[in-house]
Amino acid sequence: MNNFRDTILVAVIKYKSIIRRELPSTSYSKKISKLDIRSKTVIVAEDTKLYRSGQMIISDLRIRSSNVNGKKSNPHHGTKLLLQYLEKIMANYYIEDGQVISRIHRASHALMETVQLIAQMGDNGLTQGEIIQIKCHADVVAYHGNNDQKKLFLKALNGCHQHLTQYFCAKLYPSQPPYSLAK
């Protein structure tokens, strides 16, 4: 099992215990069937299905935590905690080409590829193809990377290629003037 699967399965179990306390048994069974998180199906489900189930659970938890039909709902404290936990976890993943991908791992891979391209750079500098590859990696790190990864990416580009550094900074800080290395 992978980290995503383990994390979502634990969240599904917690969600089921919360709604089991809040709903009558017939409503509980209908809810579990509607979300397709019955014990037998969720254990063997593909990661993309678990990802979508996680999104549906978040939607349900948001409804439970908000005002419904003008009435203030009084959600169980665990409902709010589970909602926050699931939102944080789901923000770290996305679906690409039918697979659940970790944003951090995707950015790390792009960072490593860039470092390798720069390390292999000859005396003539980067080829046009390598520049295009690094720009693609810059897009990935800017969109999916955390602050540490973004700093490392900038550090790898520093002194290597002024144009690429400016390109990456424009992706990170689109509303600021162009970045200058001379500070």
Would you state the pLDDT for residue 42? 81
What pLDDT does 73 receive? 55
Residue 57: name the closest of 83, 75, 26 by CA. Answer: 83
Predicted local distance difference test score (pLDDT) of residue 154: 85
Query: Residues 135, 167: contact at Cβ < 8 Å?
Result: yes
Q: Which long-range contacts (CB under 8 A, 24 or more apart) does 84-91 make?
A: 85/11, 86/11, 86/54, 86/57, 86/58, 86/61, 87/58, 89/7, 89/8, 89/11, 89/54, 90/51, 90/54, 90/55, 90/58
CA 51 to each of CA 61, 65, 82, 101, 133: distance values in angstroms, whole numbers, following the listed order: 15, 21, 15, 10, 29
Q: Residue 48 has what pLDDT?
A: 92
Give the residue ranges of the chain where pLDDT is below 50: 1, 69-70, 178-183
Predicted pLDDT of residue 23 = 86
